[in-house]
Amino acid sequence: MDNMSKQPLPTEIQLLPERELAQRKALARRIHQISLTLISLVLCLQAACIAALLARNSYEKTLFTAKTNLDQSLTKLEKHQDSEDSFTKLAQNTSLLKTLDANTTRPTLILDLIEKAIPANVSLESILYSDFLTITGTTESYASIIYFINNLENNPLVQEASLSKVARSQPGVPIDFGINVKF
């Protein structure tokens, strides 16, 4: 019996290494899984760092673009303010010109207007100004009267020019006419 007690049983010897081998395999699988998990975490951290760097770079580009756009907008606003100041000065000058125009002798403006509008074959007899301008004169043709009226109406100062009278005493005698002009 002595011999038997010193030697392990064959079934016990075979079972012990299989259990140990299974435990080692399970441990190796677990270590492998943990290694893969750690590698995955490292890769995720690297990806997060890269994403953060890209986001920061994108943020800096966006910030730079926004600053550039703001600078351009401020420049445009300053130019607009300059334009607005120029417009204000222009409006003031226009107001001054209107005041001067109201105080300027109207006959000068009226004579310039008539001089530009009158046809060559029309002779003026009188120019009267009250609420409106009345022009009387003579011409050889009715067409010259119409031409004169049209030229007067084409002036921006004139609201309306209308024929107030037309008369010819006999053929071959000049035509007498009257034109009323409203400003």
Tens digits of residue pLDDT in 2-41? 555 565 555 554 455 677 778 888 888 898 888 888 887 7
Contact status, residue 161 vs residue 117, Cβ threshold 8 Å? no
Domain range summary for the chain, segments of one domain joined by +: 1-104, 106-182
Res 106: pLDDT: 65
Positive or negative CA dihedral for 166, 159, 92, 83? negative
Q: Taking the complete model, does pTM exceed 0.85, yes or no? A: no
What is 106-182's CATH topology? Answer: Gyrase A; domain 2 (3.30.1360)
Mean pLDDT (whole number) for 53-66: 71
In three-state form (DSSP H/G/I as H, E/B as E, the rest C), the secondary structure along 29-90 is: HHHHHHHHHHHHHHHHHHHHHHHHHHHHHHHHHHHHHHHHHHHHHHHHHHHHHHHHHHHHHH
Confidence of residue 166 (pLDDT cuts 50, 70, 90): very high
Confidence of residue 105 (pLDDT cuts 50, 70, 90): very low
The SS3 of residue 128 is strand
As a 3-state breakdown, the chain gives helix, strand, coil percent values, each rounded to 5, of 65, 15, 15
Using alpha carbons only, what angle is made at residue 23 by residues 18 and 28, rounded to the nearest 5 degrees? 125
Give the Cα separation of 136 and 148 in Å (integer).
Answer: 12
Res 144: pLDDT: 94
Res 132: pLDDT: 85
Give the Cα separation of 126 and 133 in Å (integer).
Answer: 10
